[in-house]
């Protein structure tokens, strides 16, 4: 049995909930410089000292960017796809500090920031939640994190995964979907993604919702947070920043932790990110596990290295879930490519490359990706006998 047949027990289409997810979103550096209110371009990287150089590299790679661009420009074709699919919830992993702070983190070589005056860039995408538990939210120090939180709050953009203290950092975003229930979003980060241990939020210290080691103890802590919030009919999404930037290997530790989140914590969608390219997908107990969503929006055009992983390609994921059971009904994906600092629909050849790569890396999980005539992808998976 595959998912192109009706899922047993699935409700009518009108009661299903569709959640939009994507890979890392980085609106700092070159993108910030292209927007209407470019901030301080000073960088403290070993090789690049001015963020305008990233804009110049993108132009050399793909063509001139007519700056300043408007707030919607960077989202490109994604805006049309969001309007067409009309998901109930839009979630991103925001890998950018929104601040004017110059207090860069000395122990890091790469620092992302966007001028708070460019917050309209995020508003243009009509986002419902920004996940912040990642390895860039504190790039510009504690003052930068607090300004990020204040800027998002002033813009009425909800966020999870970082806060002024441990309690705020662990708090979920709860979204009411009229007539369909709630989507509850938790955000956690792992040191395996490069998050410094010192970034963990404390009782009186700002920081991230940081996991220690993807252990059973970490899962029990998440279980406790979810148990205090989850109601019958809620869809629980856990955003997790984990693993390295490059490579397709899914460690047994990551897979076991994802399974624990579903078995013990009641998570319905494991939304994993950190890798600069797409990784395999698993459907476990009819729940979706995205091990690595890849990059979605950034200023990496023209940066050499790791070309075989095609980090310019990404996916806009639309997961349709039955709130009565938490099971995945379908997964539709739009292949994307960043060109001239804008998300564009990928061409057919690149879409096929993504489909082939997903199928190859998801084969151990009994999952494959299929490309439609319009270049979109859909997930196919086998339902185990025990779930029939």
Domains of the chain: residue spans and CATH: 17-25+70-218+238-330+344-376 (3.60.21)
Residue 14 makes CB contacts below 8 A (sequence gap 6+) with none
In tens, the pLDDT along 61-80 reads: 999 999 999 999 999 999 99
**Residue recorded with tokens 């609106």:** 27
Q: How far apart are CA 56 and CA 63, in angstroms?
A: 9
DSSP label at residue 199: G
The whole-number pLDDT of residue 383 equals: 62
Q: How far apart are CA 221 and CA 204, in angstroms?
A: 19
Q: Which two tokens stand for residue 339?
A: 């060109």
The whole-number pLDDT of residue 300 equals: 97
Residue 77 makes CB contacts below 8 A (sequence gap 6+) with 334, 336, 343, 344, 345
In tens, the pLDDT along 177-218 reads: 999 999 999 999 999 999 999 999 999 999 999 998 999 999
Residue 164 makes CB contacts below 8 A (sequence gap 6+) with 146, 149, 201, 206
SS3 of residue 141 by DSSP = helix
Q: Which residues of the chain have pLDDT under 70?
A: 1-13, 383-388
Q: Which two tokens stand for residue 267?
A: 């998570």
DSSP string, 262-304: HHTT--SEEEEE-SSSB--EEEETTEEEES-B-EEE-S-TT--
Closest CA to 103 of 42, 155, 61, 62: 42
The whole-number pLDDT of residue 326 equals: 96
DSSP label at residue 354: H
DSSP label at residue 227: H
The whole-number pLDDT of residue 388 equals: 35
The whole-number pLDDT of residue 212 equals: 87
């Amino acid at each position: 049995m595959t998912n192109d047949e009706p899922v047993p027990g699935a409700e009518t289409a009108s009661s299903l909930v569709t959640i939009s997810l994507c890979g890392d979103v980085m609106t700092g550096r070159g993108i910030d410089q292209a927007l209407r209110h470019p901030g301080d371009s000073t960088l403290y990287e070993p090789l690049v000292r001015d963020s305008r150089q990233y804009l110049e590299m993108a132009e050399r790679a793909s063509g001139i960017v007519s700056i300043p661009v408007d707030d919607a420009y960077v989202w490109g074709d994604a805006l049309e796809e969001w309007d067409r699919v009309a998901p109930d919830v839009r979630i991103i992993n925001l890998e950018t500090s929104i601040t004017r702070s110059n207090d860069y983190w000395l122990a890091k070589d790469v620092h992302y920031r966007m001028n708070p005056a460019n917050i309209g860039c995020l508003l243009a995408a009509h986002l419902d939640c920004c996940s912040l538990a990642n390895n860039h939210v504190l790039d510009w120090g504690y003052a930068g994190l607090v300004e990020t939180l204040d800027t998002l709050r002033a813009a009425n953009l909800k966020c999870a995964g970082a806060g002024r203290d441990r309690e705020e950092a662990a708090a979920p975003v709860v979204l009411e979907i009229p007539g369909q229930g709630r989507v509850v979003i938790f955000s956690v980060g792992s040191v395996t993604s490069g998050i410094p241990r010192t970034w963990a939020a404390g009782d009186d210290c700002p920081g991230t919702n940081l996991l220690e080691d993807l252990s059973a103890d970490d899962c029990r802590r998440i279980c406790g947070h979810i148990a205090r919030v989850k109601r019958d009919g809620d869809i629980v999404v856990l955003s997790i920043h984990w693993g390295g930037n490059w490579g397709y290997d899914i460690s047994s530790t990551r897979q076991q932790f994802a399974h624990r989140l579903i078995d013990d914590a009641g998570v319905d969608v494991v939304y994993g990110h950190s890798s600069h390219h797409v990784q395999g997908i698993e459907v476990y107990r009819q729940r979706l596990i995205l091990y690595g969503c890849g990059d979605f929006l950034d200023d990496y055009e023209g940066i050499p290295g790791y070309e075989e992983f095609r980090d310019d390609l990404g996916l806009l994921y639309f997961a349709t879930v039955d709130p009565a059971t938490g099971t995945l009904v379908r997964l539709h994906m739009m292949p994307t490519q960043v060109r001239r600092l804008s998300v564009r629909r990928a061409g057919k050849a690149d879409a096929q490359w993504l489909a082939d790569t997903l199928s190859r890396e998801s084969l151990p999980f009994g999952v494959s990706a299929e490309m439609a005539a319009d270049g979109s992808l859909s997930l196919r998976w086998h339902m185990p006998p025990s779930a029939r």
